[in-house]
Amino acid sequence: MTSQQRIDDSQRKGDFYELIRAPQLFKQLSWQYDPSTPNENRFSKFDYRVTPKGKPTYRMEVKGPKQPKGLVLFEAIGITGHNGWGLGAADYVLQFLEDTVAITYRRKEMLAKAIEIGGPIPKSPERLPPGKFADPGVWQGRSGTNRRGLPQQDCFILLTPAQVKGMYTKLTLNL
């Protein structure tokens, strides 16, 4: 699979969880939700305004399952080299670990935990080829190019469930 094919496949999967699975879960939980505007999505890095029963409205970023499975991926810098969703305006992140199993957590708390575990966000993290990952708890980036032929400049950390124990709520979508 080429780098471009991986990017396209990742986008399709992300769209599926953002546009199909997340609304299914919100409806199951009887949460009211409204999608963000295109500008909010692009610049403020959140996908929905969500209002759980009896709670205030929150901004929520939705992420599909990541590889390696079962780990929490926290992105500080996106592939364009600008702030990623982990540094955006979302109050919460809904991350699917599997097709119908997700966790939700407070973005700022997870950012603090990522920095506690991995240290300050590096300007030049270790670059790894597509499909390869450093051990959990280490800031890393991917090598390769994006759609415009520019080098990927992302920076993220993988965290294990044990490292973030007690920081998330597990949700299961009943289809």
* Tens-place pLDDT, residues 91-111: 999 999 999 999 999 999 999
Residue 82 — very low, low, confident or very high, per pLDDT cuts 50/70/90?
confident
All residues at 6 or more sequence positions from 51 whose CB lies less than 8 Å from its CB, including other chains: 31, 32, 33, 57, 58
- Tens-digit pLDDT profile for residues 8-65: 666 778 899 999 999 999 999 999 999 999 999 999 999 999 999 999 999 999 999 9
Determine the pLDDT at residue 1.
Answer: 61
Q: Which of left, alpha, beta for 73 (phi over 0: left; psi -120 to 50: alpha)?
A: beta
- The answer to whether residue 83 scores a pLDDT higher than 80 is yes
Residue 138 — very low, low, confident or very high, per pLDDT cuts 50/70/90?
very high
